[in-house]
């Protein structure tokens, strides 16, 4: 898709970080915007900023991506009003850092529910309607380098993101098999400046706040991302450029690709997994 003007983008998790930047980039490119977030109140001034940046329309939707009925209802409402989606960003995601066995059932449900099933809900609601509409469309799912490079304390999050990688590659194959005019991309960021390390404010009942070593670990990673993470606006620009080029992989941190190559080589020779934070993630 080369020309975005007057096309319609739907972005989940649009109130903050990468999602917010995607909305502003969509506005710069002249798109109608459907901005969804569980924290709709935090969408705040985004409507005005997008209008100023060039969006012909902006719609705020309070949406929990875990609520499959709500996602289905949103899609039905949009398509019934001839407001089909041209670019879908399944971006909403949450993070909680703990040793694998320390995640409660509720915390696993939350992480997998938002990061994996939230994307599945978006695909179930929108792909059939995109296919029926027949106009060119594109889907960008947000994974993470954490889905490729398993790290201590990132087990549950990384598992959800590894699943997104598999799901998104399979989505690409499923659509190609049907010769669908729908492009697919997988956005795999490393550290980006955002509020992801404060995600536990949305967790709800049964999810305990981090304390002690886990809290210290989260604070250290949060400080590193704040100091050295990418500006989400750069991630948004790269994402739109990838959609324009119909490119599957979006790696905003190309310096981390060598970590991927190292991991593949290590698996190929049967090495026991080892983890060095700086080396694996290419973070100084």
Q: Is the dihedral of CA 128, 131, 134, 136 positive or negative?
A: positive
CA–CA dist 11, 8 (Å, integer): 10
Q: Which of 79, 126, 157, 251 is catalytic?
A: 157
Q: Does 64 bind ligand NAI (CB under 6 A)?
A: yes
**Is residue 79 among the annotated active site residues?**
no
Stretch that binds ligand NAI, among 51-59, 169-177, 186-194, 242-250 (CB under 6 A): 186-194
Question: 184: helix, coil or strand?
Answer: strand
Cβ-based nearer residue to ligand NAI, 7 or 90: 90
138 - beta bridge partners? 87, 183
Binding residue for ligand NAI, selected from 65, 175, 236, 250, defined by CB under 6 A: 65
Contacts of 254 (CB under 8 A, 6+ apart): none
Cβ-based nearer residue to ligand NAI, 132 or 278: 278
Q: Does 37 bind ligand NAI (CB under 6 A)?
A: yes
Q: What's the N-to-C CA distance of the chain in angstroms? A: 37
Binding residue for ligand NAI, selected from 158, 183, 229, 259, defined by CB under 6 A: 229
What secondary structure letter does DSSP report for 11? Answer: E
Q: Does 13 bind ligand NAI (CB under 6 A)?
A: yes
What secondary structure letter does DSSP report for 132? Answer: H
Q: Does 24 bind ligand NAI (CB under 6 A)?
A: no
CA–CA dist 251, 191 (Å, integer): 11
Q: How far is CA 271 from the centre of its chain?
A: 31
Q: Does 163 bind ligand NAI (CB under 6 A)?
A: no
- Kindly list the catalytic residues: 157
Residues that bind ligand NAI (CB under 6 A): 12-13, 15-19, 37-39, 63-66, 91-95, 114, 142, 144, 189, 191-192, 194-196, 199, 202, 225, 229
């Amino acid at each position: 898709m080369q020309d975005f003007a007057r096309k319609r983008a739907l972005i989940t998790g649009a109130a903050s970080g990468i999602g917010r930047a995607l909305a502003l980039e969509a506005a710069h490119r002249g798109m109608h915007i459907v901005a969804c977030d569980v924290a709709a109140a935090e969408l705040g001034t985004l409507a005005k900023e997008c209008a100023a940046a060039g969006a012909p329309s902006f719609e705020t939707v309070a949406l929990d991506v875990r609520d499959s009925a709500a996602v289905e209802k949103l899609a039905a409402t949009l398509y019934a009003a001839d407001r089909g989606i041209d670019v879908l960003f399944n971006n909403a995601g949450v993070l909680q850092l703990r040793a694998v066995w320390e995640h409660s059932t509720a915390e696993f449900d939350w992480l997998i529910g938002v990061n994996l099933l939230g994307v599945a809900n978006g695909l179930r609601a929108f792909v059939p309607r995109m296919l029926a509409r027949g106009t060119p469309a594109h889907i960008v799912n947000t994974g993470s380098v954490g889905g490729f490079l398993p790290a201590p304390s990132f087990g549950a999050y990384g598992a959800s993101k590894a699943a997104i990688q598999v799901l998104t590659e399979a989505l690409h194959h499923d659509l190609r098999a049907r010769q669908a005019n729908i492009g697919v991309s997988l956005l795999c960021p490393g550290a980006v400046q955002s509020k992801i390390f404060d995600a536990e404010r949305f967790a709800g009942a049964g999810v305990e706040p981090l304390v002690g070593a886990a809290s210290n670990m989260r604070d250290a990673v949060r400080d590193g991302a704040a100091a050295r993470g990418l500006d989400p606006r750069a991630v948004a620009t790269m994402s739109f450029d990838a959609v324009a080029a119909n490119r599957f992989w979006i790696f905003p941190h190309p310096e981390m690709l060598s970590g991927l190559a190292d991991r593949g080589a290590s698996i190929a020779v049967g090495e026991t997994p080892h983890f060095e934070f700086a080396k694996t993630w290419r973070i100084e």
